[in-house]
């Protein structure tokens, strides 16, 4: 079993290159991040080269965070901004060798938002041969986010019909919205591009809570890529890593 450290949450008290080194020292097999754009890409690439860790993915920009935005790709009338965010992520991802780009849809609803998201995802899939990911966010943490369920994601992936568009299956979000994680993982296996995890409901380390990660990880022993630890440590990250040796 291999694990990836999501550096949006883990070791986020230090610059991203330093967090990459911390992940290596802790024994992670890969890293991933949220929005690295304030850090020069060459600094991130140097840390990845020094540690030998692959960068699995990054997110497109959320837009105007102070104004309440959380992604742009499903916002009607914001196509130019959405394309700019995709282009930024593609360029940065290429510079650091990232494997995937998570295209964030934002707060929207209705047929117009659906069509806008589909069109922007086609743009993203044509802009790069990297994996393009979409991720449903649960309605408790992100009320009003356009993409909320795995069934909705499956419909969109089928409509876009691009070989590099995949589902980011976050056990935490699916656990809070849909439950039945093992069945959902099995049913969606053919469209999943990355798997993340955290405890439910507090989004802490996977050593407590409603989800039995010993059972979930046992069902994922054949998954070919590292699983993404995207949990909130609530303090010193190193003090929360007992689960990793337990589940390996």
* Residues with catalytic function: 135, 230
From residue 160, alpha-carbon distances to 61, 73, 122, 153, 189 in Å are 21, 14, 6, 11, 18
Tell the residue number behind the tokens 């991203």, with chain if given: 16
User: CA-CA distance, 162 to 3, in Å (whole number)?
Assistant: 27
Find the helix or strand (DSSP H, E) in which 101 lies.
strand 100-102
Collect all residues with Cβ–Cβ distance below 8 Å to 20 and sequence separation of at least 6.
7, 31, 44, 47, 48, 51, 53
User: CA-CA distance, 59 to 168, in Å (whole number)?
Assistant: 11
């Amino acid at each position: 079993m291999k694990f990836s450290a999501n550096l949006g949450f883990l070791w986020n008290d230090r610059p991203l290159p330093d967090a990459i080194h911390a992940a290596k020292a802790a024994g992670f097999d890969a890293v991933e991040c949220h929005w690295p754009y304030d850090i020069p890409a060459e600094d991130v690439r140097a840390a990845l080269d020094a540690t030998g860790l692959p960068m699995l993915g990054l997110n497109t920009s959320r837009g105007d965070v102070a104004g309440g935005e959380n992604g742009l790709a499903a916002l009607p009338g914001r196509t130019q901004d959405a394309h700019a965010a995709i282009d930024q992520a593609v360029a940065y991802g290429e510079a650091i060798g990232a494997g995937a780009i998570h295209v964030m849809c934002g707060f929207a609803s209705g047929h117009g938002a659906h069509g806008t998201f589909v069109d922007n995802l086609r743009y993203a899939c044509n802009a790069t041969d990297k994996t393009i990911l979409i991720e449903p966010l649960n309605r408790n943490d992100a009320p009003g986010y356009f993409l909320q369920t795995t069934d909705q994601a499956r419909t969109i992936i089928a409509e876009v019909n691009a070989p590099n568009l995949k589902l980011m299956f976050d056990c935490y979000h699916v656990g809070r919205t849909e439950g039945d994680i093992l069945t959902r993982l099995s049913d969606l296996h053919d469209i999943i591009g990355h798997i993340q995890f955290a405890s439910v409901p507090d989004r802490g380390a996977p050593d407590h809570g409603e989800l039995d990660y010993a059972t979930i990880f046992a069902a994922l022993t054949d998954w070919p890529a590292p699983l993404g630890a995207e949990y909130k440590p609530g303090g010193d990250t190193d003090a929360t890593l007992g689960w990793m040796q337990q589940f390996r």
